Structure formats: structure tokens, C-alpha cells
């Protein structure tokens, strides 16, 4: 049995496409078997809603009168510094950017109440944002200062462009030390006091297409409540990691760079987020449709929490000092039960990624496809897979004489 | 029997007077102090678990109110902002009393206000800042 994306799109247009979520497909395959399910189901939708630090937006604010060239100057959005190293009025704001007067961790642990992620959420919500900028002035761009309110509806372009999102699996973070630590995986209590994980597991996009057979460059996706596309493999894309028999990796592996029109997105799916003692970020909602082109693709989408494993990593010493060694592997079924056993100790678990919201994203995307509002795209190029030999490198430091 | 968790706000003029012990002395009420501090303008803030016979409880509360103490239920004080909560569940291992619980079936977080002791540990632990204090 094989189908093409063109055939599936014809069914979407006619309104007789069969779409289910990556959670629903599990029971369907158990009841009907892979062969029958692959015949019947056209698309499986996935979803994830978690903090993703390599996220940001670029905007073109429009030319001021007289003109100002922000390139080489400075720009702040609600006091949060944006990057200006582009043409005159293009700026980029990353979600981890912080106001210069934020005390950061000088008062430990820092609160990180407001940063780039929060500006993005407010901008998408339609709130006015204060832009303050300076420039050096040129003959063609004479102005040196700018202070104005800007609004998403008035800027020329507002684009969400995230160099690394949708991690294919992630570590389970624990703390083996005897002091409380504050990490990007949340607050970790001493002596294995808790274990935090961050993946939607069986609903997570890249765990449902573990070998990137359908998700590629150009794949159309749900991004922040609007429509986006996969732009490239994400930074740190690491397809050659150890995998289980079902092809899912048991350590962080593939990633995606994604892009989309911020003007269509919604603040409930792009949320400014604060990690005490760590910094700010953006919680991003992403949903990816997987066309069921053949039985192998379907089998991958039917993966269950109990068959996806994550590695337990100590964030007090092993992670910060880049030491080898994991404390074991646990399945998402175990993680979701509320406790796991690490070094013989029962440890309570908590998630940073919202499974309930991941379900909502997969359901939303399912509705869009069923209503004929969302057609699938054929990838223009594949992502590097396990056969690519691509690996994730550490920095090789070379002393500067 | 009635047992409630309440927030008491003492105006400046009452801060140096022994009041809470009178709840036990005259109204036969049991109290358990969960939190006490002085807030700006020298107002005292006290969070109590208070229990006893219903009639005595009501009399005790009236006594406090007559003195000018502002009495508020604790559940009005610690609030989960439902539009900010994403139900990720990272708070559940931080909450020491099991007031924040993840329903393993719906994967949604429940906030049991009657179990909350206003320790406020969940406030900075919530990445979305969904937990709020309104004292």
C-alpha cells in the first residue's frame, strides 16, 4: 500500500480525508493492524508545547521620516535588546534576550520575569511595544535617535524564525548534589529530589517520524497557532544517536528550524516563559502532520509512551562539566506515572512540556485538515538522517596567543 | 466542627496586641499558624488554620472583624491564573502539600485550594507565572 501527498491533498479538498492524532492512531493500529490502518488513515497529526530557547522574531519596522539606519546601532523593544546587524529597519529579537538593567543572577536565583519571549507574546497579542533605537547617522540615513510605539498590525513584516525547535526527545534532569539547583529543566531538588522531563512522547512530532521520512525542508506545520514551515534542520541536529528497535532515539537527536508569519499566530501558543535562576525563553506550540504514505510511516506514528525511552542525566555535575555517563533510561510511560527509580531511589517526576496542550495542537491541526483549510506539502529536500553521518560536536577551544 | 484556612490582616494599631490567643481562650478554637509577617505600612499578615465548633468559629471571626482585622479565605489569596497555566505540571513536585496535582488521565493540573498552605514555592517555580498571590 502506498499513497502520495497529491492523492491525500485531493482527499482533503474533497472533504473525505481521514485524519487522526498520534494518540488516537495507537488504538486504531492495535485494533485493526498496520495494514488496514495504513489503508484507512491518510494523515496523523502530532503536537508539542514546550519551552524552546532558540526562538525569536524578525520585524521590519518601516522607514522613519527622516530615515534612520539601525544596522550598526542599537534597538530595544520594551527595554529588551534586539539585534540590529541587518539592513536599515530590520531587527531580530531572541526570546532569551534580557533588559540591560535586569539583575540576572547577581541576586541568586534571578527571577527573570521579563525578556524577549515575553515581548514576543505581547507583540503577537497586539499590544503596543516601545521601540527605542540609536544610530550613528549617515548621509542617506541622517537620524540618530528613535523612540516610538510599534504594533504588529503596522510593521511591514513580523516573522517568527526559530533556529532550533521541536527536539526529538530530551534528557530527564536530576540533581545528585546536596544543594538546590536552578536549571533550564526547572528547579532540581538535592539528592534526587525530583526528575524533570520535556517531551510530548508519543505525540511529539519527530518521535512519530523518527527517521525523517516525511518531515523535511518545506513541510507545512502548525506554528504558534498559525501556519509555518520547516526551514532547515535545527541547530545541533544530531541524527546519528543511539536508537531503539522502533527507530526512536533515547537521547536528544533531531531538531528543526521553523519559520512562519507571526501576524497570523496567537499569544496562547507563544508564551513568554521564566526559569528561576536560569533566564527567559518562549514556550512554542508546534504541530506537524504526517502523511501516511506507506505502512512503515504508519508503524512509526503508532509508537507508544512505553516504547520511547529518555536518558536520565545529572544536572549538578555531569551536564555542566560535560562528563560522560547517564544514570539510566526510562520510558515515557514510567515518567508519566509520576515516579521513576534512579539509583534505587523512588523519584517524583514532572514535565516542562504540556501534554494537554500538545493534544490540543494535534486536535486543532486535525480540524484544519478535515475542514480543508490546510493542505500538506511535499518536502523540497530531506533532513539529514542517520545515514548522513552528521554528528553533534563540542567546541574545540584553541588558545589565543 | 468547622475547619478553615484564613488570611488575617491586622491594621497598624493592632499589631502589638495579643489577639490570636484569645481565639483559643474565649472561643475554644484551635489555631495553626502557617505564615506570619509584617508587610509595608506595618500591617500584620497572618495565615491560620482555624477549627472548632461552628458557633464558636463564627463568634471568633466576628470578634476579629469587630476589632478591625480583615478576614479573607486563603483560597481567595493564592490563585491559579487559568489563562496562563498550560498544565505542564512542573509545579507538582515543588508543592509540599499535594495541593497541585497532575491528573494522570486528563494530563491537567488540579489546584486543591483546601490543601494549600500559602508557602508560595510554586510562584517562582511556575515558568508561565500562573500562580498568583492576592493578599
Give the β-pairing of A309-314 and A172-174: parallel
A338, B90: Cβ pair inside 8 Å?
A: no
Give the β-pairing of B109-111 and B131-133: unpaired
* pLDDT tens, chain A, 401 aa long: 799 999 999 999 999 999 999 999 999 999 999 999 999 999 999 999 999 999 999 999 999 999 999 999 999 999 999 999 999 999 999 999 999 999 999 999 999 999 999 999 999 999 999 999 999 999 999 999 999 999 999 999 999 999 999 999 999 999 999 999 999 999 999 999 999 999 999 999 999 999 999 999 999 999 999 999 999 999 999 999 999 999 999 999 999 999 999 999 999 999 999 999 999 999 999 999 999 999 999 999 999 999 999 999 999 999 999 999 999 999 999 999 999 999 999 999 999 999 999 999 999 999 999 999 999 999 999 999 999 999 999 999 999 98
**pLDDT tops 90 at residue B134:** no
A355, B107: Cβ pair inside 8 Å?
A: yes
- Residue A73 has which C-alpha cell? 546601532
DSSP code, position B54: H
Cα angle: B67, vertex B70, B75; to 5 degrees: 145
| Cα(A98)–Cα(A83) distance, integer angstroms | 12
Q: Is the Cβ–Cβ distance between A19 and A376 less than 8 Å?
A: no
Q: Is the Cβ–Cβ distance between A91 and A123 less than 8 Å?
A: no
Q: What is residue A44's predicted lDDT score, i.e. its pLDDT? A: 98
**pLDDT tops 80 at residue B42:** no
Tell me which residue of B12, B26, B114 sits closest to B62, measured CA to CA: B26
A354, B89: Cβ pair inside 8 Å?
A: yes
* Upper half-sphere CA count for residue A336 (Cβ side, 13 Å): 24
Q: Render pLDDT for B106-132 as a digit per residue (tens, 0 to 9).
A: 999 999 999 999 999 999 999 999 999
Closest in B93, B104, B106 to A348, CB measured: B93
| Beta strand extents in A74-178 (DSSP E only) | 74-77, 80-82, 90-94, 129-134, 145-150, 157-165, 172-174
Cβ neighbour number for residue A235 with a 10 Å cutoff: 14
Q: ipTM, 2 decimals?
A: 0.94
Q: What is residue B38's predicted lDDT score, i.e. its pLDDT? A: 84
Residues B85, B87, B89, B92, CA torsion sign: positive
**Domain residue ranges of chain A, discontinuous segments joined by +:** 1-376
| Cα(A21)–Cα(A362) distance, integer angstroms | 6
Chain B residues within 8 A of A47 when measuring between CB atoms: none
Terminal Cα-to-Cα distance of chain A (whole angstroms): 63
Q: What is residue A401's predicted lDDT score, i.e. its pLDDT? A: 86
Cα angle: B42, vertex B44, B47; to 5 degrees: 155
Catalytic residues of A: 140
Tell me which residue of B108, B106, B133 sits closest to B120, measured CA to CA: B133
* Cis previous bond, A338, omega within 30: no
B128, A50: Cβ pair inside 8 Å?
A: no
The H-or-E segment that residue A366 falls in is helix A355-370
| Beta strand extents in A135-180 (DSSP E only) | 145-150, 157-165, 172-174
- Decide if B101 touches A, using CB distance below 8 A: no
Q: For residue B40, name the pLDDT band (cuts at 50, 70, 90).
A: confident
Task: For residue B130, give how far its alpha carbon lies from the nearest alpha carbon of chain A (Å).
Answer: 10
Chain A residues within 8 A of B92 when measuring between CB atoms: 338, 348, 350
B2-76 is a CATH 3.30.1490.100 domain:
no
Chain A residues within 8 A of B132 when measuring between CB atoms: none
Average pLDDT, chain B: 93
Given this chain, do its domains B2-76 and B79-135 carry the same CATH topology? yes
Q: List all residues 6 or more positions away from B42 whose beta carbon is below 8 Å from its beta carbon.
A: B12, B15
- Decide if B91 touches A, using CB distance below 8 A: yes
- Decide if B124 touches A, using CB distance below 8 A: yes
**Domain residue ranges of chain B, discontinuous segments joined by +:** 2-76, 79-135
Q: What is residue A378's predicted lDDT score, i.e. its pLDDT? A: 97
| Beta strand extents in chain B (DSSP E only) | 2-10, 30-39, 43-52, 70-73, 78-80, 100-102, 109-111, 131-133
Closest in A111, A194, A276 to B93, CB measured: A194
Q: What is residue A394's predicted lDDT score, i.e. its pLDDT? A: 96
The CATH number of the domain covering residues in B79-135: 3.30.70.20
A275, B93: Cβ pair inside 8 Å?
A: no
The H-or-E segment that residue A36 falls in is helix A24-40
**pLDDT tops 80 at residue B41:** no
Residues A236, A237, A240, A241, CA torsion sign: positive
Q: Nearest-CA residue of chain B relative to A275?
A: B127
Q: Render pLDDT for B90-102 as a digit per residue (tens, 0 to 9).
A: 999 999 999 999 9
Amino acid at each position: 500500500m502506498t499513497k502520495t501527498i497529491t492523492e491525500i491533498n485531493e482527499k482533503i479538498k474533497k472533504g473525505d480525508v481521514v485524519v487522526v492524532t498520534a494518540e488516537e492512531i495507537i488504538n486504531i493500529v492495535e485494533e485493526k493492524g498496520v495494514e488496514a490502518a495504513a489503508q484507512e488513515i491518510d494523515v496523523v497529526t502530532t503536537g508539542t508545547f514546550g519551552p524552546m530557547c532558540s526562538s525569536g522574531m524578525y520585524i521590519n519596522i518601516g522607514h522613519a521620516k527622516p530615515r534612520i539606519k539601525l544596522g550598526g546601532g542599537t534597538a530595544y523593544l520594551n527595554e529588551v535588546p534586539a539585534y540590529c546587524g541587518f539592513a536599515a529597519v530590520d531587527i531580530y529579537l531572541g526570546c532569551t534576550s534580557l533588559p540591560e538593567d535586569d539583575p540576572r543572577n547577581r541576586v541568586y536565583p534571578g527571577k527573570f520575569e521579563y525578556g524577549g519571549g515575553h515581548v514576543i507574546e505581547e507583540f503577537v497579542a497586539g499590544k503596543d511595544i516601545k521601540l527605542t533605537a540609536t544610530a550613528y547617522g549617515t548621509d542617506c540615513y541622517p537620524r540618530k535617535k528613535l523612540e516610538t510605539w510599534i504594533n504588529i498590525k503596522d510593521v511591514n513584516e513580523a516573522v517568527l524564525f526559530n533556529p532550533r525547535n521541536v527536539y526529538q526527545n530530551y534528557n530527564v534532569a536530576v540533581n545528585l548534589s546536596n544543594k538546590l539547583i536552578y536549571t533550564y529543566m526547572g528547579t532540581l531538588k538535592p539528592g534526587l529530589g525530583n526528575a524533570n522531563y520535556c517531551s510530548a512522547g508519543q505525540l511529539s512530532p519527530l518521535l512519530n517520524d523518527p527517521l525523517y521520512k516525511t518531515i523535511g525542508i518545506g513541510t507545512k506545520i502548525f506554528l504558534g497557532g498559525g501556519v509555518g514551515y520547516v526551514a532547515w534542520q535545527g541547530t545541533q541536529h544530531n541524527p546519528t544517536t543511539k536508537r531503539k528497535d522502533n527507530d526512536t532515539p533515547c537521547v536528544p537527536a533531531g531538531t528543526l528550524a521553523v519559520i512562519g508569519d507571526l501576524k497570523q499566530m496567537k499569544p496562547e501558543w507563544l508564551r513568554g516563559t521564566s526559569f528561576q535562576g536560569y533566564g527567559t525563553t518562549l514556550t512554542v506550540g508546534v504541530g506537524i502532520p504526517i502523511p501516511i504514505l506507506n505502512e512503515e510511516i504508519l508503524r512509526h506514528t503508532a509508537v507508544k509512551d512505553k516504547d520511547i525511552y529518555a536518558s536520565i542525566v545529572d544536572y549538578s555535575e555531569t551536564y555542566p562539566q560535560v562528563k560522560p555517563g547517564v544514570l539510566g533510561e526510562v520510558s515515557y510511560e514510567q515518567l508519566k506515572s509520576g515516579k521513576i527509580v534512579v539509583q534505587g531511589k523512588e523519584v517524583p517526576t514532572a514535565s516542562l512540556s504540556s501534554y494537554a496542550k500538545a493534544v490540543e495542537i494535534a486536535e486543532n491541526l486535525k480540524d484544519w485538515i478535515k475542514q480543508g483549510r490546510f493542505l500538506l506539502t511535499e518536502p523540497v529536500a530531506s533532513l539529514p538522517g542517520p545515514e548522513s553521518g552528521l554528528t553533534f560536536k563540542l567546541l574545540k577551544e584553541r588558545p589565543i596567543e | 466542627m468547622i475547619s478553615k484556612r484564613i488570611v488575617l490582616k491586622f491594621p497598624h494599631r493592632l499589631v502589638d496586641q495579643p489577639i490570636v490567643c484569645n481565639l483559643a481562650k474565649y472561643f475554644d478554637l484551635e489555631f495553626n499558624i502557617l505564615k506570619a509577617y509584617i508587610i509595608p505600612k506595618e500591617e500584620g499578615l497572618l495565615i491560620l488554620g482555624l477549627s472548632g465548633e461552628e458557633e464558636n468559629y463564627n463568634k471568633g471571626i466576628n470578634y476579629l472583624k469587630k476589632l478591625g482585622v480583615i478576614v479573607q479565605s486563603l483560597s481567595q489569596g493564592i490563585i491559579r491564573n487559568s489563562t496562563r497555566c498550560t498544565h505542564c505540571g512542573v509545579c507538582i513536585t515543588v508543592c509540599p502539600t499535594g495541593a497541585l496535582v497532575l491528573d494522570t488521565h486528563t494530563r491537567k493540573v488540579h489546584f486543591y485550594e483546601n490543601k494549600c498552605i500559602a508557602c508560595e514555592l510554586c510562584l517562582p517555580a511556575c515558568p508561565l507565572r500562573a500562580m498568583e498571590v492576592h493578599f
